[in-house]
Amino acid sequence: MKQTESISGHDLREMFATATSWLEKSAPEVDALNVFPVPDGDTGTNMLLTMRSTVEEAHRSPDGSVSAMVKAMSKGALMGARGNSGVILSQIWRGMAQSLDDKEVLTGKDLAEALVKASETAYKGLSNPVEGTILTVIKDAAAAAKAQAESSQNDLISVLEAAVNAASESVANTPNLLPVLREAGVVDAGGQGLYTILEGALRHLRGEREQMQFRKPQMITSNIPVATGVPHISTEDEIPFGYCTEFLLKGEQINPDKLRTKLEKKGVSLIVVGDEVTARVHIHTLDPGHVLSYAASLGTLHQVSIRNMDEQHHDFLEMQKERLVAVDTAIIAVASGEGLSDVFKSLGATAIVHGGQTMNPSTKELLNAVEAVASDKVILLPNNKNIVTTAQQVKSLTKKTVAVVPSEAIPQGVAALLSFDYEADFESNVENMTKAKSSVKSIEITRSVRATTLNGLHIKKKQAIGLLDDRLIAADDDTAKALDKVLDKVDLNTAEVVTIYYGSDTKEADAETVGNGIREKHPHLQVEVVKGGQPHYDYIVSVE
């Protein structure tokens, strides 16, 4: 295995020049990862332009030492930073420059220490650091590099390999840390961009420049089961994004910390980086005039950029529609709870409308979902008896062909979706899905909102009650016992699969205990326990 003990400043510059070319190959794919609710430009393009400025400044450095070269690269990154991701990238270079001050050459240990300092500096530059972003990726890469440096006899290649491998795993994990990524079915764009840069640098160090001409960077996929490209349709009024405002401030005795404090109340996604003579500012604000006016009182403004993010978000949604894989028929399901939403996504639902019991979506909300999907044929799964009629109203309000499979409970919707055949025509699918919804028994365990007597049951307020296909048949002070009573009314000898979706107020351990109890009583059954996360219902159970 090839080893490299150290490299010069010129080698470092060429290494990241190669990395920049490597990023350029995948910039459009990184751009496509941008997700609501932060339509902050094009991440891949912004990082590419920042890296180009970084390398261009390095070529101007007359000093070939590592310290001088990285200092020049840090300056180039700051001056050319674009977008949120570009500014954070400039902070990474700033931290590296601080760590590598007075270094003639770069060793594995030096690189590890520089990455750790880069991570610390990047976090400090943000007023509200968010995990599941490029920040997490640089932190994880730095930690792996440091651990490797301590056990690799200072080999530069093995240290960078450790950083790249950790960055890949970190990018794949970002949807676990940031719900908006999980909903969209993508990894963090900035994290992907950073991984690509580090991978390009590593390939150069290994001497793989010739092979890189015929390859493209790897796009990391999530390590959790998500349905890529599945939009989550919000039922809330949209909040304006405002303006993405960026500028370079030059002056004397600039205090970046004081500037950051002053601007924190004027917007969000604030980043202020720099020193006493030059500061780069990035902020999302509804009033860029106030921000610029204050900054102008401190010095001169340069490279001012103001972008309307509402228009940008609209353009992004249109772009995403074009990028979506064309499907003949789109399926829209109504569900509440992250777990249930994930179930429908994983089974092929094109979009999820948030709603259910006590949260019935309106006709307009369902119509908006229909218009948002990139198909002219749509099947609606209301998954609640109170939503079926509302869903039927949508058919006359759109030019698209819409059919409603009248699923009245979550298990019916799941059964219907499982029967969808991508090779069948629209009418056949609607017919088959409607038949399939009736093939399951639906059990719901919830709490009574009042004391009453119904179906011969004397029910106390807040007592656990059990419904079988929407008919109240059991009550008990204990939710698990209420479920047992309902299951006793079902012929489980002819059943094959029981799926238990436990709610947001139910502990996983309790749900597993319930599942184990059913397995012991009925060993022939396949019993699955799934986190539904639904409100109001402790358990929703499918028997098929």
Q: What is the pLDDT of residues 216-241, one digit of tens each?
A: 888 887 655 433 344 444 444 444 56
Q: Which helix (H) or strand (E) holds 330?
A: strand 330-335
The tokens for 190 are: 């900035």
Closest CA to 33 of 305, 270, 220: 220
Q: What is the pLDDT of residues 474-514, one digit of tens each?
A: 999 999 999 999 999 998 888 889 999 999 889 999 999 99
Gap between the Cα atoms of 102 and 92, Å rounded: 18
- Which residues in the chain come in under a pLDDT of 70? 1-3, 34-41, 152-153, 183-184, 222-241, 310, 312-327, 357-358
Strand ranges, E, within 133-242: 232-233
Instruction: Give the per-residue pLDDT at 341.
Output: 87
Gap between the Cα atoms of 412 and 344, Å rounded: 12
Instruction: Give the per-residue pLDDT at 316.
Output: 56
Instruction: Give the per-residue pLDDT at 230.
Output: 46
Break the chain into its structural domains and give their ranges: 6-233, 243-313, 330-439, 441-543
CB 5 within 8 Å of CB 156: yes
Amino acid at 212: M
Gap between the Cα atoms of 153 and 314, Å rounded: 52
Q: Assess whether the region 243-313 and the region 330-439 belong to the same CATH fold.
A: no
pTM above 0.75, yes or no: no
Instruction: Kindly compute the dihedral angle of the four CA atoms of residues 387, 233, 468, 543, in this order, to the nearest 10 degrees.
Output: 140
Instruction: Give the per-residue pLDDT at 318.
Output: 58
Gap between the Cα atoms of 167 and 173, Å rounded: 10
Domain 330-439 has CATH 3.40.50.2300: no
Class of domain 6-233: mainly alpha
CB 217 within 8 Å of CB 164: no
Instruction: Give the per-residue pLDDT at 223.
Output: 55
Instruction: Give the per-residue pLDDT at 309.
Output: 73
Class of domain 243-313: alpha beta
Amino acid at 256: P
Topology, domain 441-543: Hypothetical Protein Tm841; Chain: A;domain 3 (3.30.1180)
Instruction: Give the per-residue pLDDT at 326.
Output: 45
CB 301 within 8 Å of CB 279: no
Which residues partner with 306 through β-bridges? Answer: 245
Instruction: Give the per-residue pLDDT at 455.
Output: 76
